[in-house]
Structures are given as structure tokens and as C-alpha cells.
Structure 1
Amino acid sequence: MSITIRPERPGDEGVIHDLTQMAFAPTPYSQGNEGAIIKALRADGDLTLSLVAEQDGEIVGHVAFSPVAIDGHHSDWFGLGPISVRSDRQKQGIGRAMIREGLHRLKAEGAMGCALIGDPAVYAGSGFENDGRLSYEGVPEIYVQRVVFSGPPPHGVVTFSPAFAATE
């Protein structure tokens, strides 16, 4: 069963929403709004990169990338998330493959880097790290991670797209 990773196409929106809601439902950290975040990113024009993983013609994974500001400056940095994989396809490398492809595409387009809020044990394998230079309000710094494509590692407070706050 091979996986194809491709950009979101018109008509994928409903499947992406449902997949995201189902994937996050059992997690203790979910706000139950992850599908709404993606919809709001899309509506606001902030869904910079939206990739899906297809297996046997079905969408089994999705990852979103959107612009972030660091200390109020937008300088070609992006945020990863939400990311979701159908529950029966998790732990098979699909998420990591989507991340790898997304980072490759962002870098090719001239992005400086990518940040996320997440478990270091999960994202270290995709090149994300924490050096304590980035922060996000209310989140322990260990969970605020980044991968640098070019330039020096940034320092400051990460602010995600307004879609993340509007759906809380």
C-alpha cells in the first residue's frame, strides 16, 4: 500500500475536516476545534500549504502550514499544524512523510524556517528542536520547537495565524 502526498484540491475540504476532528477527538490536549482552525486558515488566506496523504484513493492524513510571526515580525517563517492521520493508519510513518514533504516545499519556496507546538519526542525525528529561544504564551518552552532553513535561529514569542485564536 503506497502513500501519495499531494496538495489539497477543491473537494477535499470536507474529508480533511472530518479526518482532523476524528484524529484529534481521543487526544487529551484537543480543544475540539482543529477542523475549524483549518477551515478558518483557508477562509483567511493563511493556509499557505495544505497537503494530504492518499492511500488507495482515500485521504488518510493531512498537514497544514500557515504564516507565523516571531516577536511581531513576519519574516518567511511558518507554523506546522494541525496535522492528523486516520487512527487506523497512525504509527506507519505517514505523518513524518507529510512533514518531510511540507518542509521541503516551504524551503524550496524560500521560507526561513518552520515552528510548531508539540511533543519533542514526536517531532525531533523530523528535524525540529528547541533551544529555549522561542516561546508561546502559556506553553512550556520545551514544546515550542523549530527547524531553521536559512539565517540564524530566531528568538522571541511565536504568534500563529488569527485563525487559531478565533476558534478557541
Structure 2
Amino acid sequence: MNIRPECYHDVAIIETVTIAAFKNHPHSNQTEHKIVSGLRTGSALSISLVAEFNGTVIGHIAFSKVKINNEFIDWYGLAPVSVIPEFQNQGIGSQLINAGLKALQELGALGCVLLGEPEYYTRFGFKSEPQLILNEVPPEYFLSLVISGDMPSGVVSYHQAFSL
């Protein structure tokens, strides 16, 4: 398997992968592909990596800038991470997350947030921090990871593509 930055010819397959990955997900409203498209259209897709197996894209991960108290302070949001169903539960999502976090470090990011299952994301160092708030979200599912520096505090806001 190969993990690499997305190319222009990956756009359609990334949409297909994302739709398939979330089709039967119990906490999805099946708009994740629209979020990725909105981030790309808005030039807000900071990091976009694909996982390839035998030349076929089977997974994708996206990172975009977030604001804390309406200010960008070198923090990013991880969302979504997608793996087609027949390749799920084989560690591909984990490899995408690790590659994405490494890319964030190389970008000089100070931290990363996400909305997700604590049981899964704590293995990467993410945890719930009471001083970071995502409105209307149970705090135990809003997780953060300091890459460098101190944990900020305040209200986090994502790119408008997430309001689709």
C-alpha cells in the first residue's frame, strides 16, 4: 500500500471512496463527500492524502484549518477519514491518520482536533480537553492533540464546508 498526496485525477475516486465509506455509518448523514468537495472548492483542503493499493485509491484523509476563538493559530481539523468497506478494519485508516499527523508536523501545525469515537482516536494521542469546545457537541467526542506548544482554550470553528 502507498500513501501519497492527492492529485487532480483522484478527485472523483475520492468522492466515490468517501460515499462508500460512510454509506452505512451509524453517525453519518452522508455529507462527508460534500465536505471534502467544499473544502477543495474553497481552497481550504490543507492536507489531502490517499491510500492506494495496487494502483487503486482505497482510502482518503483530509485536514483543514480551524479557528479557535475566531482566529487561526496553526490548529487543524481532521475530517473525514475514509476507507472503502472491503478494506476497513485492516489498519489503513490508522496509516492514513499517522501519515496525516506527520504531514501536519511538517507543515508546522501546533495541534489538531476532530469529532470522533474516543475509543479509536485515543490510540493516536487524541483526548477530550475541557478547554476546547465545539458548540452543540458532547465534549467526550470532541478530541484534540497538541503537536507543539501548549493546549489553547476556546471555541473551535471549522470551515463553512462542514455546515453542509
TM over 0.5: yes
CA distance in 2, matches of 1:97, 1:127: 14
Q: Which residue matches 1:18?
A: 16
Q: Which residue matches 2:127?
A: 129
Query: Which of 21, 24, 27 is the aligned partner of 2:25?
Result: 27
Look up the equivalent residue of 1:50 and give its one-letter code: S
Corresponding residue SS for 1:123: helix
Q: CA deviation at 1:94?
A: 0.5
Query: Does 1:89 find its partner at 2:87?
Result: yes
CA distance in 1, matches of 2:126, 2:101: 11
Q: CA deviation at 1:72?
A: 1.1
**1:103-135 residue CA offsets vs partner (Å, 9 max, x unmatched):** 111111111111000010011111111122211
Q: Which residue matches 1:43?
A: 41
Q: Which moved more, 1:131-140 or 1:38-47?
A: 131-140
Q: Which residue matches 1:149?
A: 147
Q: Which residue matches 1:114?
A: 112
Q: Which residue matches 1:72?
A: 70
Q: Which runs of structure 2 are paired with 1:92-103 in the superposition (5 Å)?
A: 92-103=90-101
Corresponding residue SS for 1:12: helix
CA distance in 2, matches of 1:148, 1:154: 9
CA distance in 2, matches of 1:113, 1:158: 12
CA distance in 1, matches of 2:89, 2:133: 28
Q: Which residue matches 2:160?
A: 162
Query: Which of 43, 59, 62 is the aligned partner of 1:61?
Result: 59
Flag structure 1 segments of 5+ consecutive residues without an equivalent: none
Flag structure 2 segments of 5+ consecutive residues without an equivalent: none
Matched residues, number: 164
TM-score (norm: length of structure 1) = 0.95
Look up the equivalent residue of 1:79 and give its one-letter code: G
- CA root-mean-square deviation: 0.8
Corresponding residue SS for 1:28: coil
**1:29-60 residue CA offsets vs partner (Å, 9 max, x unmatched):** 11111101101100000000000000111111
